[in-house]
Structure 1
């Protein structure tokens, strides 16, 4: 059984120490709390627990939920990231295999005929052998292979976070295009209403001109308003079609008509309100920040591997088995055979390669520390910007709603005064244009309101597993 001991020896000696630097997460280069005061809302906000929530807890509109679920199943962007994750996992498993020796088993039988040396007589000889062997297995005494395996593992985890980031982007894009489609449908309906109103005003003005009540200037002004609204109808018709195309591309398949929004005004409570982010710790849950940290950990492990290159490497070649002159008696009366061939390699001169490799690994770590810190700073800005928008958007929405109501009253009175001959068409035309602009501004603000909700969800990291 000596050969079994020899084959087991590499398992006992592998991975004795690690030369990786002790990893310490860099201090967050941002304030501990999010900005407050001024533009930032002081209201309590929602109660959604981001750390233990999925997108289904945040998106509550049934149609939008179905569209997002379709995208997570059909998006080609996600299929690309899944392939990347599988590739990274395979590379990690390939590197991890170097921690264990390769054991081969071989059974052979040789039958030969040769001269005996007496006259020209020949004899037939037969030999059989069975062997198990491990070839050139490097003992990981200084943790080089362990470090390389950790490097690949962290790279694999970083790829997983990259896939999660892609999932979050897909959800954001789908919801955003869905909202844009709703807004452009409302813009199209507003343009159609304005065109119909302008056509009626043009008819009234033309009749007044025919009866000598209005001038040709009034007719031209009424016609310009009608033609402008007509052009907007054509433009928004195109926008609605293009919005649908963009949504289909983000989802990965054509979205059924019954899952599409009808207008921005009907989007009531499609998403939950986000809780105020009072601590910067929320940034650490973002997949891009986690990906940057895994990349940093990978470079930390590469330093350990570079350090290990300065130490000797020991390789083992061992085999053991039995041999016999007859195959039938190989495992009964065969003779035991074994071999054990250790070798050691000492780094004496490599033209400065090992020193340069270590310097490169340390420089890469500095690079990824800066990348990690920059990702946190960028995340802080994105959250702060979204919170600033959240703190003022409701006031803007209320103001634009009141502005539309006031503009409608102004238009109704100005149009009535014109039709009764009390006032000129200039005031009625101005009121009509003011109302049209006010309605467009309200739609734009409503669009911004809903986009801010999905933006907050994205910049705060999107919660737990996005596919739940």
Structure 2
């Protein structure tokens, strides 16, 4: 008798596997130009450079101390841990949804013992009876004729893949944040050293003018002007000392470790940071679509597409199958021996006739699809803008750095000549003061340009999807 149950179940399973109402997925056209705004300069930058997606972060970032900090962060950062745990959670949810495709088989056993009084018994005597039963079967398994469960399974899979890409995006963001915090610390260290050097030179100038003032060779105004430079440098030292402490705290937070980072990993100068490897920008259609955040948006788009299939299937009948095979006996010892075979097969069909919720749910799935398309297109546009901005900086920062270095050199000579002219009594100390202020400002700006150049290399690497390996 068991085969009469197995044959229809298998037949319905095979039939259910052949239909799906999920729309055919088509990737939307990228709503951006086929070339970067700086197309010619970008093309020149491609030669002999590596693609970011093919360049592991340790190959791009060659500074060993920075590698230590990044590796520590990848192992301990709590935000990244949350992203990884979210991946594991969604993966488990996908397993739950996928399991809905298969029948859940369970076993049950029961026994009953009854006693019937004589006045209720047909025989007029007290009767006692025992029965034992064991069943193996399927309870309310939905035969997925119209692909509702498979569409939900596909949506769960795409959500899992989107979360996995989000975790890769989190890793890229963490690497970028650590590298930028590291560079900021190096820049602030350099600013501090510049302020200390400036303070010492201004102290020397102040004491010299003070001596000349006491001899009547300098005015009180010159003395006060020299003092303003001393106090300015003192204030900058306090500022950058505080910023350095905050930069270290930021690195410690990003690293996520309870053990203090060794002092040797903290940079002292920007020039001590090993240069990063140059990368190729490629073309938008090949480069941007491999970014984890865009891949995540596309997976969400595919999930919304699958949900439309599930919403469409809700308009059609659902068939649930319940069946079991087993054995029964009045004696426990004979249950698996001479017990009587039992079986049951109970299909159930439900047909939606009037349910406004079904139509509304379908409209919601279509709206979700439109939202997912807009989010996907926005992700591409954002990535295009980020990359174009990084390219624009790369194409100009070299010239800016060269101009900054030349400016510092010229202002240093101007400051020296102003001091000579003041010593010879040709000019007032105001000309020395202006030259020194200009030189100090240009030196600070040069540090900022250097960090901007290094930071943009990191930005270009990350916006092109590097660091997700």
TM-score normalised by length of structure 2: 0.94
Structure 2 match to 1:461 = 465
Among 449, 454, 460, which residue is 2:453 paired with?
Answer: 449
- The within-5 A match list for 1:301-340 is 301-340=306-345
CA deviation profile, 1:339-360 (whole Å, cap 9, x unmatched): 111111111111x222222122
Offset, 1:264: 1.4
Q: Distance in 1 between matches of 2:189 and 2:52?
A: 32
Matched-pair contact (CA < 8 Å) for 2:328–2:339: yes
Structure 1 match to 2:90 = 88
Matched-pair contact (CA < 8 Å) for 1:138–1:314: yes
Among 12, 23, 29, which residue is 1:21 paired with?
Answer: 23
CA deviation profile, 1:67-115 (whole Å, cap 9, x unmatched): 1111111111011112221221122111112111111112333344444
Matched-pair contact (CA < 8 Å) for 2:311–2:358: yes
CA deviation profile, 1:133-190 (whole Å, cap 9, x unmatched): 2111111000000001111111111111111111111111000000000001100111
Structure 2 match to 1:226 = 230
Q: Distance in 2 between matches of 1:407 and 1:327?
A: 105
Matched-pair contact (CA < 8 Å) for 2:398–2:453: yes
CA deviation profile, 1:25-84 (whole Å, cap 9, x unmatched): 001111112222687683445522323232112111111111111111111101111222
Structure 1 match to 2:161 = 157
Structure 2 match to 1:104 = 106
Matched-pair contact (CA < 8 Å) for 1:7–1:319: no
Gaps of 5+ in 1: none
Q: Distance in 2 between matches of 1:462 and 1:342?
A: 54
CA deviation profile, 1:120-140 (whole Å, cap 9, x unmatched): 854443322111121111110
- 1:264 lines up with 2:270 in the alignment: yes
Structure 2 match to 1:247 = 251
Q: Distance in 1 between matches of 2:188 and 2:233?
A: 14
Q: 1:330 to 1:169 in 2, by over 3 A?
A: same
Count residues with an aligned counterpart: 463
Q: Distance in 2 between matches of 1:38 and 1:57?
A: 27
SS in 1 for 2:336: helix
279-288 or 120-129: bigger deviation: 120-129
Among 50, 54, 57, which residue is 1:55 paired with?
Answer: 57
Matched-pair contact (CA < 8 Å) for 1:14–1:99: no
116-125 or 292-301: bigger deviation: 116-125
Q: Distance in 1 between matches of 2:39 and 2:151?
A: 48
Q: Distance in 1 between matches of 2:409 and 2:136?
A: 89
- 1:373 lines up with 2:350 in the alignment: no
Q: Distance in 2 between matches of 1:383 and 1:316?
A: 55
Structure 2 match to 1:274 = 279
Q: 1:119 to 1:105 in 2, by over 3 A?
A: closer
Q: Distance in 2 between matches of 1:262 and 1:24?
A: 52
Q: Distance in 2 between matches of 1:110 and 1:403?
A: 100
Structure 1 match to 2:172 = 168
Backbone CA RMSD of aligned residues: 2.0
Q: Distance in 2 between matches of 1:118 and 1:410?
A: 126
SS in 2 for 1:348: coil
Gaps of 5+ in 2: none
Q: 1:99 to 1:371 in 2, by over 3 A?
A: same
Matched-pair contact (CA < 8 Å) for 1:403–1:438: yes
